Amino acid sequence: MTRLSPRRWLIQFLVLAGIFCSAMPGLAENKPPASEDQVSAESTASTDDSAPNDDASAPNAEESTTNSDESASSTDELATDTPAPAAAADSALENADPSIILKGRVWRTKPGIVFLKTPVGLLSLSSKTTLKDLLASQEISFWVHNAHLAIDIRKRSDGALVHRYLSGPFTQSENDEDKLRAWTPDGEKSFDFGTHKQAFAALHAGDPVTVEVDEADTVIGVHDLQFDLQIGQIPPVGSSAHLLLTGTVAKMKSNFIFLRTPVGVVNVNTKIGVKDAKIGQTLTLHIHDREVVANLAEKTAE
């Protein structure tokens, strides 16, 4: 074995020490190296400045999964605690039969009638006393809940209310005879008769009535209003629609079924998935977003 002199051994030791120091990050500059977690956190922050980063270092894979689940849970709880009024109302009325929740836009108009495009097909609204100023720049929200109907017409630009119509059996408020009790998508409310007390004096409890109300919960008009719905397609991707109707097949022509329901006759195109229907059968049609379920019951013997 070759023996090194003390001087050569000292020189070699110093050279090796210098190489070792330069290879260690931060040691040559007399400061601790950044951990891998800190590097990951800084990299994430630089690529997404809008994402908040409260932790000093990024969590490991297991912690990341847990935190993501907790974050999603917190978001869901927040959404549940403070729901949008329309969303809360929609979820509450979807189990009613009949129930319909649709949004539409003006397609064309004729004197006394407005045709709307909805995710399921054409919806027409007709009246001799109102609906004379609907514009293509407006969006219509349409609800049916049992025997009640609600229509909101708003500007698409800022959501400002243009018209709100409520239809259903005439019911006076229990606490005030000069108020109408009516169903709305946000729950039952009382509306002051306003200047239309004489029109309500001729009505009996349960008589059908359609009113226009304002945001101050006052009746500003008593009208006639009808609707006609044609269900001709499965809702397109990304659209939102709900419909639950049970009725009797009254007539069949070409690809259309004329379904007699508690809210009137509804035309249903068999191409959406209704097969082998026969006159007299009971049909329950359920549409939720893009899901369509049609149940046909055998005609009961008379």
Residues 100 and 218 in one domain: yes
What is the distance between the alpha carbons of residues 209 and 203, in angstroms, rounded to a whole number?
9
**pLDDT for res 81:** 35
Residues 177 and 157 in one domain: yes
Owning domain of residue 157: 88-110+127-225
Quick one: tokens of 155? 């500007």
Q: For residue 185, is the peptide bond before it cis, meaning its omega torsion is within 30 degrees of 0?
A: no
Alpha-carbon torsion angle 233, 118, 190, 209, nearest 10: -80
Which of 178, 200, 225 terminates a domain? The answer is: 225
Residues 139 and 217 in one domain: yes
**pLDDT for res 14:** 52
Residues 100 and 175 in one domain: yes
Q: What are the residues whose beta carbons fall under 8 Å from the beta carbon of 64, sequence distance 6 or more? A: 58
Per DSSP bridges, beta strands 113-118 and 99-110 are antiparallel
Please say if the pLDDT value at position 168 is more than 50: yes
Identify whether 78 is part of a domain.
Answer: no
Total domain count, the chain: 2
Residues 106 and 189 in one domain: yes
Residues 286 and 203 in one domain: no
264: three-class secondary structure by DSSP:
strand
Q: Which amino acid is at 285?
A: L
Quick one: tokens of 42? 């800084």
**pLDDT for res 39:** 31
Question: What distance lies between CA 67 and its chain's CA centroid?
Answer: 27
Q: Is the dihedral of CA 263, 269, 272, 275 positive or negative?
A: positive
Please say if the pLDDT value at position 23 is more than 50: no
Question: How much is the mean pLDDT over the chain?
Answer: 77
What is the distance between the alpha carbons of residues 163 and 165, in angstroms, rounded to a whole number?
7
Residues 246 and 184 in one domain: no
Identify whether 257 is part of a domain.
Answer: yes
What average pLDDT does range 72-91 have in this prediction? 38
Quick one: tokens of 8? 């050569």
For 216, which DSSP code? T
What is the distance between the alpha carbons of residues 232 and 58, in angstroms, rounded to a whole number?
52
Q: Phi and psi dihedrals of 37, rounded to 5? A: -65, -40
Residues 147 and 260 in one domain: no
**pLDDT for res 302:** 54
Residues 148 and 217 in one domain: yes
Cα angle 292-165-233, degrees, rounded to a multiple of 5: 20
Q: In what helix (H) or strand (E) does residue 293 lie, and over which residues does it extend?
A: strand 291-297
Residues 254 and 160 in one domain: no
Quick one: tokens of 291? 């899901």
Cα angle 25-27-33, degrees, rounded to a multiple of 5: 50
Which of 185, 209, 225 terminates a domain? The answer is: 225
**pLDDT for res 200:** 95
Residues 175 and 285 in one domain: no
Cβ–Cβ < 8 Å for 130, 225: yes
Please say if the pLDDT value at position 190 is more than 80: yes
**pLDDT for res 7:** 55
pLDDT classification of 95: cutoffs 50, 70, 90 = confident
Residues 141 and 260 in one domain: no
Quick one: tokens of 255? 């690809």
Q: What are the residues whose beta carbons fall under 8 Å from the beta carbon of 266, sequence distance 6 or more? A: 229, 230, 231, 245, 247, 258, 259
Please say if the pLDDT value at position 222 is more than 60: yes
Which of 202, 225, 248 terminates a domain? The answer is: 225
What average pLDDT does range 144-164 have in this prediction? 95
